[in-house]
A = this chain, B = another copy of it.
Amino acid sequence: MSNNEDWLKSLITKTPQEGRELAITMARKTIGAIQSDPEIKKELREKYARDAGQLIASAEVVALEFQTVAAANNYWK
């Protein structure tokens, strides 16, 4: 699996913004771990980026990943 390289070295980020970007990466990498074919992934991505229900579901995954990243960073307080 091409996604299996060591991409997640730490949950610590300098800023909330970077934490947000990490959360999006985490969500995307899971999709890539289940469906590693780049052609199929591209197709699916085009499809769900135009589907309101699937966009909202994606936003839910990002919200969950961000909960973890934010806690790891003690909310950047």
Contacts and interface: CB of A to CB of B under 8 A. Distances in A.
Interface of A: 6-12, 15-17, 20, 24, 26-27, 29-31, 33-35, 40, 44-45, 47-68, 70-72, 75-77
**Copies of this chain in its oligomeric complex:** 6
Contact of A33 (B16, B24, B61): B24
Contact of A51 (B12, B15, B45, B52): B52
B10 A34 contact: no
A72 B72 contact: no
Given A63-B27, A63-B61, A63-B64, A35 B55 contact: yes
Contact of A49 (B27, B29, B34, B67): B34
